[in-house]
Amino acid sequence: MSTMRANQLKTGMFVLYKDQPCAVVKCEFYFPGKGSAFARTKMKNVKTGNVYEYTFKSADMVETVDIDTVELQYLYGDLPAGKAGGDTLYFMNPRTFDQFEVPVSIFEGKEKYLLAEMKMFFNFYEGIAIGVRFPLKVTVKVTEAQEASAGNTVNAPKKPVIIETGVEVLAPLFVKEGEMIIVDTETGEYVSRA
């Protein structure tokens, strides 16, 4: 454990706030106009999920929390197709073959883009998975798509298609069943053909 000044805080860091390990989910610096800088933060308790808002002076000392980061590969989970939900997902360390249980909640809805054997980095605190760096883009197969009729393409119209994880994505009219497309997991939007 080490300390740093609040002016070095960044989103994604892990700090100790009121003796609780917290992820910094938002951090913005501002000057109230007369002098010193402040860091307006939103922190999430990684054990309880409680969210705190606190404004630090930029000179305040903040304790950081030691987090282990490890890359794991998705094995299986009981996710209802195309929906968020379920409780536990199973991942494996591809080097040691150790298996890990990961609570679905840390995916914050992105579990609906999970594909078999997908690899990603997890943060562990005292042996418990508390955060995941989900791939920003996933390449997925289109399993259902209506044939689009030619017509107005000026306003870039979209149609709903179903991807292999069961999720509906709005894609351009030219996307066909069986094609691979890239989807932005942050926004759920179609990016391009793969």
Partner 1 sequence: MSNWIRYNNLVKTFQKLKQNPELWQRYWVRERVIDAIREYFKGQGFHEAEVPLLLPAPSTEPFLEVFETELKDDQGNKWQGFLPSSPEFALKKLLSAGSGSVFTITKSFRNGEGRSSRHNPEFTILEWYRTPGNYMDVATDFEGLMRFILTFKESPRRSNHLPTRRLPTRRLLEGGSQLTYQDKKYDLSSPWEKISVAEAFAKYASVDTETMLNGSLLIAHGKRKGYQVTETTTWEEIWNQIMANEIEPKLGQNGPTILYDYPIAQAALARPAKDPRFAERFEIFMAGLELGNCFSELTDWKEQEARCKADLALRQAQGKLAFPMDNDFIDALKLGMPPTGGIAVGVDRLVALFADTPDIADTLFFPVGEMFA
Q: Work out how close the CB of 139 gets to partner 1 at its nearest, in angstroms, rounded to a whole number.
A: 15
Binding part of the chain for partner 1, among 32-40, 87-95, 106-114, 116-124 by CB under 8 A, reads: 32-40
Counting contacts by CB under 8 A, is residue 5 touching partner 1?
A: no
Nearer to partner 1, 71 or 98 (CB): 71
Strand, coil or helix: what is 12? coil
Counting contacts by CB under 8 A, is residue 63 touching partner 1?
A: no
Counting contacts by CB under 8 A, is residue 55 touching partner 1?
A: yes
Q: Work out how close the CB of 16 gets to partner 1 at its nearest, in angstroms, rounded to a whole number.
A: 13
Q: Work out how close the CB of 44 gets to partner 1 at its nearest, in angstroms, rounded to a whole number.
A: 15
Backbone angles phi, psi at 46, to 5 degrees: -75, -15
CB neighbours of 151 closer than 8 A, spacing ≥ 6?
none
Counting contacts by CB under 8 A, is residue 117 touching partner 1?
A: no
Binding part of the chain for partner 1, among 56-64, 92-100, 101-109, 175-183 by CB under 8 A, reads: 56-64
Counting contacts by CB under 8 A, is residue 155 touching partner 1?
A: yes
> Are the C-beta atoms of 87 and 103 separated by less than 8 Å?
yes
> Are the C-beta atoms of 54 and 41 separated by less than 8 Å?
yes
Distance CA 47, CA 55 (A): 22
In the chain the first and final C-alpha atoms are separated, in Å, by 43
Q: How many CB atoms lie within 10 A of CB 183?
A: 22
Strands 168-172 and 180-184: unpaired
The footprint of partner 1 (CB under 8 A) covers 10-12, 28-36, 38, 40, 53-55, 57, 59-61, 136-137, 155-156, 158, 186, 189, 191
